Amino acid sequence: MNWGAIDRYAKSLIKEAGHKIRVSFYKTIDVESKAEANDLVTNIDRDIEQFFIRKIREKFPDHRIFGEEGFGDEIKSLEGVIWMLDPIDGTMNFIHQKRNFAISLGIYLEGVGILGYIYDVMNDDFYHAVKGEGAYFNDERLPMLENTPIEEAVIGVNASWVAPNRRIEHMPIVEMVHRCRGTRSYGSAAIELAYVSSGRIDAYMSLRLSPWDIAGGMVIAQEVGAIATNMKGENPHLLGQDTFIVAKSGLHEEILKNYIVLK
Ligand code: IPD
Ligand code: CA
Ligand code: CA
Ligand code: CA
């Protein structure tokens, strides 16, 4: 497998897609709801996914594509090479703010993440990693993360599940929110993974993410020594939705042990 060629091609597609998204603000954006009223999708999410799929199939016809908007392959196993793509992660931000969204892509071989990319389109911030060769922010090597105790940690957490919910006991999370230095919520799982990897926040967690939300970011996070698991401490599920936490290693252990109580 020529990973160098795949890497160069993936980067060029992401940059081109980013340009298409920026230009889309001069066109009409059609907003629709998916299964739930606040689960939004636009014609741009779909166009960008289709752009990637066309280009990937042209060059690598035997690779499979797992994309959020469903134009790729039906993925039921992790065999071979799979491109796990979220054409716009943070669609709500894309619609409401025209910023704070990202293209997220992970390229996996037999279920193992080899290449990971997160492109914060409006800031032109590019994060990427090659398994075993380190992670980069705009081509600058990211240092290995050093641990931070909970009292000094800034944690990415969505306010809606600090309220009572059916998946985890919320009181321990309330305690964690009080104990840590601060919380942030950026509205794009990919950007939050990029922020953990580049040391801007110390942990990020979510009650429900899909493979394309985390696939690219996990490759990047692992290269700087962050730990990414589901809330049971297992490898996140790559064929369906799962809970998710990524953090500096000691902090990951501390949060799972003391603050996450699954129902
Ligand atoms: C969403 C974002 C959001 C997270 C949601 C995801 P989308 O992705 O990453 O931050 O909380 O769970 O579904 O739908 O904007 O690609
Ligand atoms: Ca979506
Ligand atoms: Ca997403
Ligand atoms: Ca998306």
CA 216/CA 248 separation, integer angstroms: 17
Cβ neighbours of 242 (radius 10 Å)? 22
Banded pLDDT at 160 (limits 50, 70, 90): confident
CA 18/CA 24 separation, integer angstroms: 10
CA 76/CA 150 separation, integer angstroms: 38
**Residue at 184: amino acid letter:** R
* CA distance from start to end of the chain: 43
Banded pLDDT at 24 (limits 50, 70, 90): very high
Give residue 206's pLDDT.
Answer: 97
* Average pLDDT value for residue range 41-57: 98
Strands 203-209 and 31-33: unpaired
Q: 198 CB less than 6 Å from ligand 1?
A: no
Q: Are 255 and 204 in contact (CB under 8 A)?
A: no
| Total count of residues recorded for the chain | 263
Q: 206 CB less than 6 Å from ligand 1?
A: yes
pLDDT tens digits, one per residue of 195-227 = 999 999 999 999 999 999 999 999 999 999 999
Task: Please give the structure tokens belonging to residue 249.
Answer: 């290693």
For atom 16 of ligand 1, which residue has the closest CA? 89
Kindly give the number of the ligand 1 atom that is closest to the alpha carbon of 212. 16
> The dihedral of CA 218, 222, 223, 224: what is its sign?
positive
213, 214, 218, best to mutate for ligand 1 pocket (most atoms within 8 Å of CB): 213
Residues forming a β-bridge with 154:
182
Q: Kindly report the CA angle at 118 between 195 and 40, in degrees rounded to 5?
A: 95
For the chain, percent of residues with pLDDT exceeding 90: 96
Task: Please give the structure tokens belonging to residue 41.
Answer: 């999708």
Q: What is the ipTM of this complex?
A: 0.98
Task: Please give the structure tokens belonging to residue 130.
Answer: 């090659």
Give residue 190's pLDDT.
Answer: 99
Q: 89 CB less than 6 Å from ligand 1?
A: yes
pLDDT tens digits, one per residue of 85-136 = 999 999 999 999 999 999 999 999 999 999 999 999 999 999 999 999 999 9
* Average pLDDT value for residue range 240-258: 97
Banded pLDDT at 138 (limits 50, 70, 90): very high
For the chain, percent of residues with pLDDT exceeding 70: 100
Task: Please give the structure tokens belonging to residue 124.
Answer: 């032109």
Range(s) for CATH 3.30.540.10 in the chain? 3-141
* Average pLDDT value for residue range 44-64: 98
Range(s) for CATH 3.40.190.80 in the chain? 150-258
CA 7/CA 164 separation, integer angstroms: 43
Q: 86 CB less than 6 Å from ligand 1?
A: yes
Give residue 134's pLDDT.
Answer: 98
- Report helix angle 249-258 to 170-179, nearest 10: 140
* CATH-assigned architecture of domain 3-141: 2-Layer Sandwich (3.30)
Kindly give the number of the ligand 1 atom that is closest to the alpha carbon of 45. 16
Q: 209 CB less than 6 Å from ligand 1?
A: yes
CA 78/CA 109 separation, integer angstroms: 8
CA neighbor of 169 nearest in space, from 245, 263, 243, 257: 263
> For the domain bounded by 150-258, which CATH number is listed?
3.40.190.80
For atom 12 of ligand 1, which residue has the closest CA? 209
* Average pLDDT value for residue range 156-183: 94
Give the global pTM.
Answer: 0.98
Cβ neighbours of 183 (radius 10 Å)? 17
**What H or E segment, with its residue span, contains residue 258?**
helix 249-258
Instruction: Report the binding-site residues for Mg(2+).
Output: 68, 86, 88-89, 213
Give residue 161's pLDDT.
Answer: 81
234 has pLDDT over 90: yes
